[in-house]
Structure 1
Amino acid sequence: MANLSVFVPILLALFIKEGEPVRCWTCSSDQNPLCNDPFLAGRSDNSSLIRLENCDSNAGTTYPYLASTKSVCKKMKKYINGQLIVSRGCTWKHQDDYSTSCPRASNRPNEITSFCETCEYDGCNGAATVSKTITLLAAPITLLLFK
């Protein structure tokens, strides 16, 4: 049974897909109220209004300096002229940046950023979900507890 505890992390590592582009929800609550919180992307009545965008699809032409960066999803809450705007979309960070903080956000005179967070797996900037990291850590621990 001890061999199983060594084998499980190796198996999990095989399922981690490095190098594939991340797909993020892309919308803004000032243009689409369905983008606001709570975010209900799975509802059938808004499936054509809110979409998952392949963040790397235009990166080479739009951002040619991004050779040492990776695409990540972003969720931002910003007050513009006193109105709360929730936006979701793609952004880029340095390859070795594993934090959840956003790249430096510039505030314009009438804008105040109240929240900004990044994540690195498909659809993670939508509704609150269980983190993949927690899930990956919980699987081997659960196997060890129930052996």
Structure 2
Amino acid sequence: MARFALIVPVVLFAFFAHDADAVRCWTCSSDLNPLCNDPFLVSQSENSYLFRLENCDATSAVSYPYLTSSISACKKQKKFVHGALVISRGCTWKRKDDYTNTCPSTSTSANEVTSFCETCDYDGCNGAAAISKTIALVLAPLGLLLFK
């Protein structure tokens, strides 16, 4: 029984942990694809072929010049362009020592006003709200209690 109690947390950690490979982010914009809007439900859409997960490190040399001190991340941004709400999802770059989920500062014109911008660092995290980390935090102690 003690072995089983040790295996459960290890399996949970392996299931919810992600490796340090390049992050892959959903890439779309609601002004070009209305299905990119909220709620963003790729798996439930019959048009899921219209979405793709982009490897953020594939275009790193072009996108961000300070690669030695940066990491790739996913971004979800809501902004008003000429008064219309546009939701965009894609890749961005952050300093390695930036542990916040705020976007790096971006310049906007008078015609664009950002109302929300958030970053995350695991595959597909800029899609629908993910609860996998919450589930892991709840299940790990629960598993330890059940198999004590």
Q: What TM-score, normalized by structure 1, do the two folds share?
A: 0.84
Cα shift at 1:46: 1.9
1:52 alignment partner in structure 2:
53
The question of whether the paired residues in 2 share the 8 Å contact of 1:74 and 1:91 is answered with yes
1:138 alignment partner in structure 2:
138
**Structure 2: how far apart are the matches of 1:129 and 1:14?**
15
Deviates more, 1:8-17 or 1:72-81: 8-17
Alpha carbon RMSD of aligned pairs, Å? 2.6
1:107 aligns with 2:112: no
* Length, aligned pairs only: 146
The question of whether the paired residues in 2 share the 8 Å contact of 1:5 and 1:143 is answered with no
Judged with a 3 Å threshold, the aligned counterparts in structure 2 of structure 1 residues 67 and 138 are, in CA distance, closer, same or farther, namely: same
Unaligned 5+ segments in structure 1 are none
**Structure 2: how far apart are the matches of 1:20 and 1:98?**
18
Deviating beyond 4 angstroms after TM superposition, the runs of 4 or more aligned structure 1 residues are: 3-7
Q: Which residue type is aligned with residue 130 of structure 2?
A: T
> Which structure would you say has the larger RCO, counting Cα contacts within 8 Å and 6 or more residues apart?
2
1:16 alignment partner in structure 2:
17
Identity of aligned residues (%): 55
Unaligned 5+ segments in structure 2 are none
Q: Which residue type is aligned with residue 112 of structure 1?
A: V
**Structure 2: how far apart are the matches of 1:145 and 1:77?**
42
The question of whether the paired residues in 2 share the 8 Å contact of 1:5 and 1:140 is answered with no
Q: Which residue type is aligned with residue 49 of structure 2?
A: S
